Amino acid sequence: MDTVNNNNAGSKVHHPVTSGRSWPLGVTVDPAGVNVAVWAPEADAVKLCLFDDSDTETRITLPFRDGDVWHGHVADVAPGTRYGLRANGPFDPRAGLRFNEAKLLIDPYARLIDGPLVWDPLMVDCVVEPDGDFTLDYRDSAPVVPKAIVAAPTVDGPDPASNRPLHDLSDMVIYEGHLKGLTATHPDVPEELRGTYAGMAHPAIIKHLKDLGISAIEFLPLQAFIDDEYLVDRGLTNYWGYQPICWLAPEPRYAKEDADAELRHLVHTLHEAGIEVFLDVVYNHTGEGDGLGPHVSYRGLHNRGYYRLTGNGHHYVNDTGTGNTVAAEEPMVMRLMLDSLRHWVEHYGFDGFRFDLAATVGRTEHGFKPTGAFFQAARQDPVLATTKLIAEPWDIGPGGYQLGHFPFPWSEWNDWYRDRVRRVWRGEPMGQLGLASAVLGSSGVFDNSGRGSNASINFVTAHDGYTLADAVSYVQKHNWANLEENRDGHGDNYSDNFGVEGPSEDPWVVDSRRRRVRGMLATLLVSQGVPMILAGDEIGNTQGGNNNAYAQDNEIGWLDWTSADPSLTEYVRDLIAVRHRLPVLRQRTFLHSRKRADGLPEVVWTRADGETPGNDDWHSSDFRTVAVQIRGASDDPNGAGVDDHVLIIISLGGDTDVTLPDPSDGRRWQLEIDSARHGNDDKTPLPDVSGPDSPTTYPALSQSIVVLSAIDSD
């Protein structure tokens, strides 16, 4: 193959270019240089732009093309070299063509970038004239766009993919948190490490998670993202990170020195502690926004391929509410998504993914389809087959709410569960809201596609909304710090403040909030399905009533470890221990009151007086106390092999003596947890239900969950 020299005139370094190959996509290093392959079918030319330490740029045109991929092998380019891309082609925004060679583009396959992305006016590709016409913006954006870094073929240090714990999903307790927010104020983490990958790997944080009994931590987005114009103009930042630009690159702002090495070390450290690591990924949109957003990557390479457009390409479909929607159904876009996921699994060792607005990636031209191409591609992928896949099952597009409609083996965030639990605890009728179904795994929602109860990711709080402490302290959102005149965030949170908005020193209010928090946490941990706890709920963290802290990279969004409630932390630890100890609380299949081989039913519901509740009971607003016996599922070998069973008392009204059923087979009840009495300062003795003269009733306090297990009398 002939060699081509097409470096910029005046450049001191010349890089011979040979044909290379059209795969793999991106910039891949070898002993002689790098292979470059870029998907840009409508471009007239694509250039690799190399930057030296003084930011002098060398542009090298890729002269070879296979189908829709421009490619070439560029000699004498080593790992660590900083680079970008430029694409030349037609500029016709009304037809969806947005080429502008003046704008430096980040390689969609970049594995590392040299700094955070922050909006700058130089990033726009065009100016909209008063008459509505578009004029090219000829200003060079290279000074404000981070550069990709050529990644080395091998890396030093422990391999985080080599020590993955691989828990069964039904046995897991997930802990959702923000990597920076978790450590930003922690007193035991050195100040220089707070808010970083290295800080998250600090022994104090690992010990906290391990002591709690956490099985997996789910990090908010770590794919490199941009601080968008809207926030920069207001002096805020994109704290949560839901504006991705680089799907393969770790966010550099969380690095002390080396994002790649520090993230790999973090995952390996968590694995050593027996904790799986999940990543919240965003493939439904990018941070390039609408037609006036930053022109930093995908738009400049193939706008009509990466995004769903309407009006002959003039407008962006906005099923995500962010200005654009990724064309996940496009084969090359799907390829990038899957390549990205595999990279996070194989290189960084991630064990699972939570997909933001996952309904979007399942859309076709005919709407959402459980048989959509992305779901089929992910299902057959041998690397992703080892991971847990969790959907946020909605977007804002037509027919966007798809809870319960995702295919096997996907699990889903169950907001139906969240809302029912919150509403029942604040006083609404438990029967009308389906509390019994929620506690038993939401079978009415998920009992399809061969999925079991672990399809339901149960939660009462998540990053998007109130913390648990705020859910019992505020009925109005307090989002003024977001500078949107308090218009943002959910308007109806099914919260309660016990008559006082915000902090209170009234003993009754304090005790009522304490019981409500412990009761809702207990409900979460004894329900069938997979529980997810919001980071900070176990220490009583508050955001001051802000239920949309997406832009609060400060004390509002960070966990306040200095005000942690140690008694609440101990309670959550004990709750999780009870769940781990009692397998009947975490079964894989749904319970439907069927008879087991021993003739006993899987589930029995009783009133406080021991009688079976009728339809009128379930739909009465006065029906506030109920008990349920749970045994192993009859149609699951693991469940059928579970000989023990539990009794859960749900006491949402006043103090009530609850009749205890006969545990059968000469057994007796043993108290496992009493949410209202746990950690009481008055040191009131717990009721004794396991002595030789076992009582026939249990004195359940108001606003409480009680768990009893059946044990042998010996």
CA-angle at 710, arms to 531 and 174, nearest 5°: 10
Catalytic residue flag (residue 272)? no
Question: Which structure tokens are listed for 141?
Answer: 């954006």
CA atoms of 315 and 308, how far apart (whole Å): 9
CA atoms of 190 and 207, how far apart (whole Å): 16
Q: Kindly state the DSSP code that residue 193 receives in the 8-state scheme.
A: G
429 φ/ψ angles, rounded to the nearest 5 degrees = -60, 125
**How many C-beta neighbours within 10 Å does residue 504 have?**
16
Q: Which of 101, 107, 228, 356 is catalytic?
A: 356
For the chain, the straight-line distance linking the first and the last C-alpha, in angstroms and rounded, comes to 84
CA atoms of 701 and 706, how far apart (whole Å): 9
Element (H, E) at 711: strand 704-712
Q: Which of 319, 351, 392, 395 is catalytic?
A: 392
Query: Half-sphere exposure of residue 24, counting CA atoms within 13 Å on the CB side?
Result: 14
CA atoms of 314 and 303, how far apart (whole Å): 11
Catalytic residue flag (residue 356)? yes
Closest by CA position to 301, among listed 28, 34, 45, 19: 45
CA atoms of 701 and 511, how far apart (whole Å): 12
Amino acid identity at 11: S
Helices then strands, counting H and E runs in the chain, come out as: 18, 35
Closest by CA position to 238, among listed 279, 282, 194: 282
Closest by CA position to 306, among listed 114, 37, 41: 41
Could you tell me the sign of the dihedral formed by the alpha carbons of 302, 304, 305, 307, in that order?
A: positive
**How many C-beta neighbours within 10 Å does residue 584 have?**
22
Element (H, E) at 566: helix 566-581
Closest by CA position to 466, among listed 508, 510, 497, 433: 497
Long-range contacts of 628-632 (CB under 8 A, 24+ apart): 628/436, 628/439, 628/603, 628/604, 629/603, 629/604, 629/661, 630/584, 630/585, 630/591, 630/602, 630/603, 631/584, 631/596, 631/600, 631/601, 631/602, 631/603, 632/583, 632/584, 632/587, 632/596, 632/602
- The catalytic residues are 356, 392
